[in-house]
Each structure stands twice: as structure tokens, then as C-alpha cells.
Amino acid sequence: MSNPFAQLHTAMNQFAAERDWDQFHAPKNLAMALTVEAAELQECFQWLTEAQSQQLDEEQLAAVRDEIADVQLYLIRLAGKLNVDIEQACWDKMQKNAARYPADQVRGSSRKYTHYQE
């Protein structure tokens, strides 16, 4: 098996089973935990300028790397509980996004897609 999503999913399931944590891992709770991890990731950047956020030192990058992993692991666990194939969901969503944000209309603008549908 070469798909990293599947491998990580299996490893996470085993990790939770060994700790009897399935009882806590309702999708609702996993979604909460995911947001908490995303906020912890964001916290690494909150007082940095945009320029500083592009030049993290080694200590900052190590912290960010750990938080990226936490977000990814909870996302895999949540998707697994709901039988969502993350990779396929991404490709499908990219197609939607391409339709929502036509390159020739939105070039250089950060406005939300709802602005293009009026």
C-alpha cells in the first residue's frame, strides 16, 4: 500500500484503539479538536509580519511542523470516521473552485467567490 492517507489512517486507528479513545472520537469532537489544532498552528504566526512568516527560524519551523501534523492527523481520523476519501474530495473541490473562481475574472483579487455570482 503506497497511499500515505491510508497508511496514516491505519496507524491512527491503532493508536486510538490501544488507548481506548474511540469513545471520545465522535465526528463532532474530532472536528472540534481539528479547529483547536488549526488555531495552535495559527498561533505560531499571529504576532509575526507576513514577511517574518516567510522566514521562520529553526525553532519556529519545528513548532509549525508539529502543528501541521496535528491538523493532518485529526483530519485523517475525522475523514476515516465518515468514510470520506480525502484525496478524491480534494480533486472534486478543486474542480468546484475552478468554476467559482474563473482565472480570467479573479486574477489578482482576493474577493470571495460570492462576489462573482451577483
- Contact between 45 and a copy of itself by CB under 8 A: the answer reads yes
What type of residue is 4? P
Ramachandran angles phi, psi of 44, nearest 5°:
-60, -20
Q: Please tell me the count of residues contacting a copy of itself according to CB under 8 A.
A: 75
Q: What CA–CA distance (Å, rounded) separates 116 from 93?
A: 18
**Closest distance to a copy of itself from the beta carbon of 28 (Å):** 4
Q: Which residues, 72 to 91, sit near a copy of itself by CB under 8 A?
A: 72-73, 75, 78-79, 81-82, 84, 86-87, 89-91
Polymer length in residues for the chain? 118
| Nearer of residues 43 and 118 to a copy of itself, judged by Cβ | 43
